[in-house]
Structure 1
Amino acid sequence: MTGEGSGVAETDYYRHVACDDRTTIVRSSALVRFETIRGNTTGTISWRLRQPALTLYWWHQGFAACRVDVAGERVSKHASGDLGIALVPPDASSFGEFDIPGSCSYDVAFLEPLLLEQVDMAFGDVPLICFADDVLKSGMRDLSGWRHDATFGLMAEGWALQAVARIGQVLGSRPMSETAALGRGQIGQVQAFVADNLEQHLGLSELAAVAGVPASDFAAAFRRRTGMTPAGYVRIKRMEMARRLLAMTEWSVGRIAVRAGFDDAVSFSRSFRASEGLSPEEVRIQRS
């Protein structure tokens, strides 16, 4: 787990949760970091995250509603029954708000990339926010109650392998060896298409069509070749375009938002602040 606290690491990984009154119990092994977090607040908790690990959350108390943006996909949910599990793919830039009616508690597990490589499992870059799964919930409950002693590593990594298998069932993922491979020419075509079409919607189906592979294979094949998800790559290119336009033009924030492929100035400013730590206006003032 990288970028603990409010800072942005040099690798562009970060994690920040705006909740003053909270306690965190941390247990870790070589491949798994597991946290149990309890807080007391009434109102809204803001949150932003980008990690190289597959991140799994389980809210078991105090979650009323959320408004979350994960890799450019917006999700708005009200808590209903056991819909307290959230999965954030590796490298996905995520931010949002959670409405908390009082005290809250949740567990979060970070599954390192090496674990996914060891089990030869590829996941797409589509997150699952607010879903129910008794198998994952039961495993996280067991791990939360485990002592942090010499046996924790065995328990954590055994649980993680089961969790990866279960997530694979939920997402319908397949072993990496069974997914299509992308050649250098195909990657170049996709990158050129992204550069020329930032103002357009650039989803998995559009990019997979350019590469000439099934959409179900494209995300894993692209990440295996480039080290990042398609959504992560598009996000980086949108931000690069936005930074250039802020530095080189006097365009309004709204015009820059459209040119860089965002829906509007509000969503652009929110994404820009989550990525850069400053608003577009603040960046422009710094450079003036």
Structure 2
Amino acid sequence: MTAYKPDRKAAPERGATPPSPIPRPQPEGRDRAAPQIRRGEFYRHVAASLRDHAVSTSSLVVAERITRHAEEIVPVRFRQPHLTFISWHTGFGPYEADIADQRVSMPAGARPKLVVLPPRAAILGEFHLTGLCQYDVFTIDPALVHAQGRSLLERALIFEDDALLASMHALIEWQHDPTFSLMAEGWALQALARLPGVAPPAPSLQRRIERPGLLQIEDYIAANLDRRIGTIELADLLSMPVSRFAAAFRLSTGQSLSRFVRARRLERAEVLLRATDWPIAWIARSVGYAGIRYFAERFRRHSGLAPEAYRQRTRG
């Protein structure tokens, strides 16, 4: 594949009127076909005060980091329509709970395990919280599981997987990045492959994406750098299944989708810094970053300079 050429889309002239500020990107939410849900069928209740709740979404994955506080035994009730991963990390003492009709207990001092719930499975129990507690809840749309040719879980999984836990923690750190959708969907594909006892997808030959298809993907990405881009919409351009598209893209380019799109955003930002007098905040929004501080941090990692310093140096 040819190297990316920033001038494929003409840069604005210096002094040109900047674009209208792009509204802060809203979570893409769950633009999924709504299941038939009866009132009260799904619920989430933890009887502890909420201190922080960070949520990031793609069209197929929702990642949440939740912080609560209590120093007592609290009841917990949980039932959701999606495949759910729950990781408890700090502030949890012993507990006893029915998890998808399995009686589970954790004694004091034991290491919390990862819980994976099938759609519509429930947790009902009592947890001893020891002050501030923090846990992650990730949900995957069952449509992604079916798209991979996998079968859904029939029972809850409660197990240890340090690599999977580490990947969940790492993904949360990217919650403000405009490539989060691509990263979350890539994480979901890898997480499904690691689940013990889940039927693997039907074997298929890995194939590269031909050059015309790659150019089509590049042009689409270049035209949509001001917003979040999802794996599904890119796969749809070539009429490919999501899981096969992600693997074929990596095979064809040597990069993950998220890394490729992030580089295109920052390369466009370099062009705008050199060619326009637009404020840094406008440039950040025009390449998909809602916050100037996060944009500046990512740009510095990419170029070695803060945005304003880069502009000054490249203009001599």
* Residue in structure 2 matched with residue 13 of structure 1 by the alignment: 42
Match of 1:162 among 168, 190, 210: 190
CA apart distance, 1:45? 2.6
Secondary structure in 2 aligned to 1:60? Answer: strand
The structure that has the greater radius of gyration is: 2
Tell me the CA shift for residue 35 of structure 1. Answer: 0.4
> Where does residue 113 of structure 1 map in the other structure?
142
Point out the structure with the larger helix share: 1
* In 1, Cα distance between equivalents of 2:107 and 2:168: 22
Alignment partner of 1:23 is 2:52:
yes
In the other structure, the counterpart of 2:130 is 101
1:141 counterpart (169, 180, 202): 169
Q: Post-superposition shift, 1:72?
A: 2.3
8 Å Cα contact 1:21/1:41 also seen in 2: no
SS of the aligned residue for 1:163 comes to helix
CA RMSD across the alignment = 2.4
Tell whether 2:94 aligns with 1:65.
Answer: yes
- TM-fit CA distance, 1:32: 0.5
* SS across alignment from 2:154: coil
Matched residue pairs, number?
A: 169
Tell me: higher relative CO, structure 1 or 2? Use CA pairs within 8 A at least 6 residues apart: 2
Letter in 2 for 1:87: V
Q: Supply the AA of the counterpart residue of 2:67.
A: R
Q: Is the partner of 2:175 in helix, strand or coil?
A: coil
Please give the per-residue CA displacement for 1:24-68, whole angstroms capped at 9, x wherever unaligned. 111011001110011221012321122111111111111112211
Query: What letter matches 1:157 in structure 2?
Result: E
Q: TM-score, normalised by structure 1?
A: 0.54
SS class of match (1:64): strand
Contact 1:146 1:152 in 2 (8 A): yes
SS in 2 for 1:101: strand
Partners of 1:57 and 1:86 within 8 A in 2: yes
2:198 partner letter: S
Per the alignment, residue 51 of structure 1 pairs with 80
1:173 aligns with one of 198, 211, 218:
198
Change in Cα spacing, 1:173 to 1:149, as seen in structure 2 (3 Å) is same
The amino acid that maps onto 1:26 is V
State the alpha-carbon separation in 2 of the partners of residues 143 and 33 from structure 1: 11
Gap change, CA 1:71 and 1:84, over 3 Å in 2:
closer
Inter-partner Cα distance in structure 2 for 1:12 and 1:21: 23
Q: Is the 8 A contact 1:44 1:99 kept in 2?
A: yes
Equivalent residues of 1:65, 1:76 under 8 A apart: yes
Moved more, 43-52 or 137-146: 43-52
- In 2, are the aligned partners of 1:92 and 1:125 still within 8 Å (CA)? no
TM-score by length of 2: 0.49
Per-residue CA distance 1:217-264 (angstroms, 9 max, x = gap): xxxxxxxxxxxxxxxxxxxxxxxxxxxxxxxxxxxxxxxxxxxxxxxx
The aligned counterpart of 1:40 is 69
* Ranges in structure 1 where 5+ consecutive residues have no aligned partner: 3-7, 179-288
